[in-house]
Amino acid sequence: MADQKNVKEVDLGSGSVGKLLFSLALPAISAQVINVLYNMVDRMYIGHLPDVGANALTGVGVTFPIIMAISAFAALVSMGGAPRASIMLGKGRRDEAEKILGNCTTALIAVSLVLTAVIQIFGQRILLTFGASGDTIEYAWSYMQIYSIGTIFVQLALGLNAFINAQGYARTGMLTVLIGAVCNIILDPILMFVLHMGVRGAALATIISQGISAAFVVTFLVSGKSYLKIRIPCLKVEKSVLMPAIALGAAPFVMQFTESILNICFNTSLQRYGGDIAVGSMTICSSVMQFSLLPLMGMCQGAQPIISFNYGARKIHRVDSAFRLLLITCLGYATVLWAVAMFIPHVFTGIFTQDQALTGYAVWALRIYMAASLMFGAQIACQQTFISLGDSKTSLFLALLRKVFLLIPLIYLLPRFFENKVMAVFMAEPIADAVAVCTTVALFVVSFRKLKRELGG
């Protein structure tokens, strides 16, 4: 690893685990928070459009499941490929790590072309299925029609950035996201208000910004600044290289893709029981939850190269130290977010709307929706550590447990037992969270003890 140490920002195999974790995690958290701005800034501006803000916000909220699905396919390829590349680096097998990077690059491009075609052909029909109404479909399709054209930029920017972070280049990973977010913040008001493009302007600003991020990421990974490089011979897909990455990426894919399905379930149920105002409140709740989870994912993203590299190098004591610090930090952050949502929810709702009716409804809904979110730090830390250790089966089961086995059935079952059916739909979230956290922690304790015995920890 001597040659690698000369070009890397950090040495993953030595030094203080605490300092190393935070040196990687703080830029990763910053990048995740900045990444939220892509959608949140759009929603902030859209919610304040004169006369049509509430309907426009609800319409764009209906596009969220498709946007999450696009991100999920990036995770399917990269969030399995990046940890495997880190493990190979820990074993000193750089050539294999670069094969993984090259194969994943080809897969991201192929996926983006298919997704763009599907959305352009079937997008309007999909949005109506997802909960758009006659009053909101105009805004939903105006946004999605343009956004989908930039799918290849989203895939490359999100997918390949994971390989930058996996090498320990956390500051560079943050910079790639920051460039795009700043462009988005500048372009949004210009295109929406100065050029009077409205919702279409918000979508155009986003894909231009993602395109700039994608160009930065690709340029870095083909340059001499990156230890792992995109090389033309490695772009040829090999089943033995790509499929293990896809298998490991299945868990984060399920987590994000089922988020898309969940939004459909929530939106259609809430449209049935509460109408557009309930769907608009769900848009705000899901945005707040997204803000809550992505910084946690940033912390896990910072821990991932440490855990994966040292697992590959069989340094179990460093894996143990990194996980414990990750768990404590995630639990602390989740508790703070929970307290804000419970006691001063107007801090969140005021960001998205000034409409009094929507604000009152969203405050009530948010307190129910995030009631168990203080426990979620443990869920994220344990589940992401399973992925960092290359345990695809357990991580996939846990991803399916919370959303597919628990949350989706509860969305439809609980309204049968409560008079206030809208409240029952929102209650599905905290109930599923509590059961999933307890199961995840129990499985992790058993699995990690077994791993420590195997590696002599």
Each residue's pLDDT tens digit, 65-97: 788 788 889 989 998 899 999 889 888 899 999
Distance CA 208, CA 323 (A): 37
pLDDT at 6: 36
Rounded to a whole number of angstroms, the CA Rg of the chain reads 21
Tokens of residue 49, six digits: 């459009």
Which of 14-23, 48-57, 176-185, 376-385 has the lowest average pLDDT? 48-57
8 Å CB contact between 29 and 36: no
Each residue's pLDDT tens digit, 400-431: 898 889 999 999 999 999 999 999 999 999 99
pLDDT at 7: 40
Confidence check: pLDDT of 5 > 50: no
- 9 pLDDT tier (thresholds 50, 70, 90): low
Confidence check: pLDDT of 260 > 70: no
Q: Which of 295, 300, 17 is nearest to 162 (CA)?
A: 300
**What number is the average pLDDT over the span 35-49?**
70
**What number is the average pLDDT over the span 323-340?**
92
pLDDT at 90: 85
Tokens of residue 146, six digits: 């343009």
Distance CA 317, CA 296 (A): 23
Classify residue 355 by its DSSP letter: -
- 345 pLDDT tier (thresholds 50, 70, 90): confident
pLDDT at 35: 64
8 Å CB contact between 262 and 408: yes
Tokens of residue 33, six digits: 């928070």
Which is higher by pLDDT, 116 or 264? 116
Confidence check: pLDDT of 114 > 90: yes
- 294 pLDDT tier (thresholds 50, 70, 90): confident
Question: How far is CA 71 from each of CA 158, 268, 447, rounded to the nearest angstrom?
Answer: 7, 22, 29
Question: How far is CA 243 from each of CA 42, 75, 157, 239, 313, rounded to the nearest angstrom?
Answer: 36, 14, 21, 6, 23
Which is higher by pLDDT, 404 or 8? 404
Each residue's pLDDT tens digit, 264-280: 788 889 989 998 888 88
Question: How far is CA 256 from each of CA 252, 357, 436, rounded to the nearest angstrom?
Answer: 6, 31, 16
Spell out the residues 6+ positions from residue 288 whose beta carbon is closer than 8 angstroms to its own: 341, 348, 366, 370
**What number is the average pLDDT over the span 374-394?**
88
Average per-residue pLDDT for the chain: 86
pLDDT at 304: 86
Q: Which of 144, 3, 146 is nearest to 62 (CA)?
A: 144
Confidence check: pLDDT of 150 > 90: yes
Read off the amino acid at residue 131. Answer: G
Distance CA 441, CA 400 (A): 15
Question: How far is CA 343 from each of CA 335, 364, 367, rounded to the nearest angstrom?
Answer: 12, 11, 9
**What number is the average pLDDT over the span 232-261?**
88
Distance CA 185, CA 397 (A): 38
Confidence check: pLDDT of 98 > 60: yes
Distance CA 51, CA 349 (A): 19
Distance CA 31, CA 128 (A): 33
Each residue's pLDDT tens digit, 195-218: 988 889 989 999 999 999 999 999
Distance CA 217, CA 196 (A): 31
